[in-house]
Structure 1
Amino acid sequence: MYKKYGDCFKKLRNQKNLGLSYFSKLGIDRSNISRFEHGKCVMSFEHIDLMLEEMQVPLSEYELIVNNYMPNFQEFFILELEKAEFRQNRDKIKELYSEVKETGNHLLTITVKTKLGNISQTEVKEIEAYLCNIEEWGYFELTLFYFVSDYLNVNQLELLLFNFDKRCENYCRVLKYRRRLLQIAYKSVAIYAANGERKKAENILEMTKKYRTVGVDLYSEVLRHLARAIIIFNFENAGVGEEKINYALEILEEFGGKKIKEFYQNKMEKYLKRSI
């Protein structure tokens, strides 16, 4: 399995006519690259991303080459699921559930159930146990956490947020990972605030600062604004919080259309101590 990643990296390096020593300026030893290319060791995600960036090769292109120019099924499926959720297309979600159930992918099947609202507590605990046993989370693990967080109590949430930084530190430079990290963080802020845990909510917001120094995007910034507005609404001034929430929702509508605004508007009712 690992040799495939090394083979693809070597192919890209040779196409760019770059020697193994070229990446020494990044602090990556040529012997480690050679071992990686021959499948004798695993290269850290951060180092792979740095070298791809140096070669001006997007991570998505590298992933396509690794997968023989076929999109990663898991990530493609998750994208389709999120689109259906944003559009509030329950029929499409049911269709995706039937499709993935036939594949026998148990965890992905449970992931869809989080969007249908029929996930059991046994399944929630199964995902919790799975995530706790994974030392370094990839995009799928981050997505599992993000999707199941709606069904977690504060204690379960806190358990999964333990060592969150360490589990994810290698991914924050890549936009799609960083966006998912921030989605998890800002939803956690909302859950803590809804449960009267202001200090914990503010600690999570503080933690996100280092991710934002790497890079920001409009969508993530609007989610941050919403998370902060929920804290203001629940703990400081409901009127001011409501104004800030409505402002963020208007930006979401301009950014992604009416459906995405309605999606987050519906979510707000769960996190506020009274409806707006």
Structure 2
Amino acid sequence: METGKLIRAIRKNKNLKSKDVYKNILTRPAISRFESGKSDTTAEKLFQILRNMNITLEEFYFQYNGNAENDDFLTIDAYTEAYYAKDLSKLADLEREAKIRYEETANIKFLHYAATIHLFQRKLTYQPISGEQFSIIRNYLVACETWGYYEVVLFTNSLDFFSADLIDALYPTVKLKMTEFNRIRRYKNELFSLVSNILVLYLEKNDADKSAYYYAELESAVSNSDNRMYEHAILLFFKELIALIRDKKEDTHKLQQMLQMFDFLEMKRISKQCSSLLADVRRNNAEAF
């Protein structure tokens, strides 16, 4: 459906008059051409029209796509779920599909998806990381002077394959960008997600100092989030893990209680991830002696 025709349908459904929607934006003849699909308008004018109809750009985009979910979110969710489920067959299918889409469209995001999925498969099978596949992601991000939401998500999803030094170097820039995105409701919790992933990397290495630093960053991210109960629970778990690393203690009673709470709240994936993380920390503690 052309933009103008959709605008007309929304306007009619809202019982809005043309003069109220298009005042000081389009002339009467221009309105007729626009709503009949015979002409288009500028992005600036479209934003004004949407504002006058009290509809967000995200809502409009959703309707423009026939009420279909964003393909990018669906793809990322699909390969993330497959990774945590250790579903190698699904990951292989998704990588193959991403490569086909790249050949069909030449859109670089599909090349990035394929590279990320390939790296996930190698990690799950304990194979050396493919330098060629990782360089596709790293070179793109390093060469990109201005990061948008896409670049931040790409970085977050490929954190496991970056060196600690590079993560630390990039973090201030990424944090600044994510703070900007926090103003957008849909992306409001992304900073918490990013910092959580970085913190997990350092917890897995039993690096108490770096873990403490990113824990403090995580605490500040919670105040801007909409999902307080879940995030405070995760914070408590991370805090206990850091204490476990610092003190080299064996008492994990509180941590086990938290895992039970995650199960009770039906946060199965979180419970499984945290349980695995606890096992890594305990194993590293044992090896330290």
Q: Tell me if 1:116 matches 2:127.
A: no
Question: 1:182 Cα deviation (Å)?
Answer: 1.4
| TM-score normalised by length of structure 2 | 0.67
Alignment of 1:254-265 (within 5 A): 254-256=264-266, 258=268, 260-265=270-275
Q: Tell me if 1:202 matches 2:212.
A: yes
Match of 2:76 in 1: 78
Q: Tell me if 1:235 matches 2:240.
A: no
Q: Is the 8 A contact 1:85 1:115 kept in 2?
A: yes
Q: Secondary structure at the match of 1:162?
A: helix
Q: Is the 8 A contact 1:198 1:231 kept in 2?
A: yes
Q: Is the 8 A contact 1:81 1:96 kept in 2?
A: yes
Q: Tell me if 1:142 matches 2:152.
A: yes
- State the identity as a percent: 13
Q: Secondary structure at the match of 1:214?
A: coil
Cα pair distance change 1:196/1:259, threshold 3 Å:
closer
Unaligned 5+ segments in structure 1 are: 22-36, 44-50
Match of 1:25 in 2: none
- Greater CA radius of gyration, 1 or 2? 2
- d(CA) in 2 for partners of 1:267, 1:143: 22
Question: 1:101 Cα deviation (Å)?
Answer: 2.1
- d(CA) in 1 for partners of 2:237, 2:174: 21
Question: 1:266 Cα deviation (Å)?
Answer: 2.5
- d(CA) in 1 for partners of 2:45, 2:247: 52
Unaligned 5+ segments in structure 2 are: 24-40, 103-109, 124-128
Cα pair distance change 1:153/1:57, threshold 3 Å:
same
Q: Secondary structure at the match of 1:164?
A: helix
Cα pair distance change 1:192/1:72, threshold 3 Å:
same
Question: 1:12 Cα deviation (Å)?
Answer: 6.6
Question: 1:55 Cα deviation (Å)?
Answer: 4.2
- d(CA) in 1 for partners of 2:145, 2:8: 28
Q: Tell me if 1:39 matches 2:37.
A: no
Cα pair distance change 1:164/1:236, threshold 3 Å:
farther
- d(CA) in 2 for partners of 1:275, 1:56: 57
Question: 1:204 Cα deviation (Å)?
Answer: 2.4
| TM-score normalised by length of structure 1 | 0.70
Cα pair distance change 1:236/1:161, threshold 3 Å:
same
Kindly tell me the number of residue pairs found equivalent between the two proteins.
247
Q: Is the 8 A contact 1:84 1:90 kept in 2?
A: yes
RMSD over aligned Cα atoms: 3.9
Alignment of 1:1-276 (within 5 A): 15=14, 38-40=42-44, 55=54, 59=58, 61-104=59-102, 105-117=110-122, 119-132=129-142, 133-138=144-149, 140-174=150-184, 177-195=187-205, 197-217=207-227, 218-236=229-247, 238-240=249-251, 242-256=252-266, 258=268, 260-271=270-281, 273-274=284-285
